[in-house]
C-alpha cells in the first residue's frame, strides 16, 4: 500500500509522491523542501499546485503545521515553493 499524507491547505489525502514535503530539521530548525531520507524533523505536505501553496501562507498555516515561528523569511520560502512547482530547484532552504 502506498504511503498517504494530507495536504495542509486543502486537506486532501494523496500519495506521498503527489505532495511537496516541507521539513523543519530537528536540530537546526532549518527548513528543507523534499529532504533526503537522512533528515529528520517535523514535516508538512502540500499539493503541487499554486492554490495550495498560496493557501498555506494564509493565516500562517504552514508555520502552524511545522510548529515553527513566523520569523522564517516568508517570501523566500514562498519563492522556493514556486520554484519547486516549476522544477527549478533542489529545494534546499536555510532559515
Ligand atoms: Zn492541497
Could you tell me the distance, in angstroms and rounded to a whole number, from the CA of residue 83 to the centre of ligand 1?
17
Q: What is the pLDDT of residue 54?
A: 96
Alpha-helical runs (H) found in 21-87? 50-57, 61-66, 74-86
> Is 23 within a domain?
yes
* Res 95 pLDDT > 70: no
Could you tell me the distance, in angstroms and rounded to a whole number, from the CA of residue 80 to the centre of ligand 1?
17
Could you tell me the distance, in angstroms and rounded to a whole number, from the CA of residue 90 to the centre of ligand 1?
21
> Is 91 within a domain?
no
> Is 92 within a domain?
no
> Is 94 within a domain?
no
Pick the more confident residue, 70 or 4.
Answer: 4
Mean predicted confidence (pLDDT) in 77-89: 86
In CATH, what number is assigned to the domain containing residue 70? 3.30.1230.10
CA atoms within 13 A on the CB side of 63: 14
Q: What is the pLDDT of residue 71?
A: 67
**DSSP-derived pairing of the beta strands 41-47 and 19-25:** antiparallel
**DSSP-derived pairing of the beta strands 31-33 and 19-25:** antiparallel
> Is 69 within a domain?
yes
- Whole-structure pTM value: 0.86
Helix (H, G, I), strand (E, B) or coil at 6: strand
Q: Do 52 and 59 contact (CB within 8 A), yes or no?
A: no
pLDDT band at residue 76 under the 50/70/90 scheme: confident
Question: What is the tens place of the pLDDT at every residue in 15-70?
Answer: 998 999 999 988 888 888 888 778 889 999 999 999 999 999 998 899 999 988 76
Q: Which domain covers residue 72, as residue numbers?
A: 4-86
**Which residues surround the ion ligand 1 when the cut-off is CB under 5 Å?**
7, 9-10, 47, 52
Could you tell me the distance, in angstroms and rounded to a whole number, from the CA of residue 91 to the centre of ligand 1?
18
Mean predicted confidence (pLDDT) in 65-94: 80
Total number of domains constituting the chain: 1
Q: Do 24 and 68 contact (CB within 8 A), yes or no?
A: yes
Amino acid at each position: 500500500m502506498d504511503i498517504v499524507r494530507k495536504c495542509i491547505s486543502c486537506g486532501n489525502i494523496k500519495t506521498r509522491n503527489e505532495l511537496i514535503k516541507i521539513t523543519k530539521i530537528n536540530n537546526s530548525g532549518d527548513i528543507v523542501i523534499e529532504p533526503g531520507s537522512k533528515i529528520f524533523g517535523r514535516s508538512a505536505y502540500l499539493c503541487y499546485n499554486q492554490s495550495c501553496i498560496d493557501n498555506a501562507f494564509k493565516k500562517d498555516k504552514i508555520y502552524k503545521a511545522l510548529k515553527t515561528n513566523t520569523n522564517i523569511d516568508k517570501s523566500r520560502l514562498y519563492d522556493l515553493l514556486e520554484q519547486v512547482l516549476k522544477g527549478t530547484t533542489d529545494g534546499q532552504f536555510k532559515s
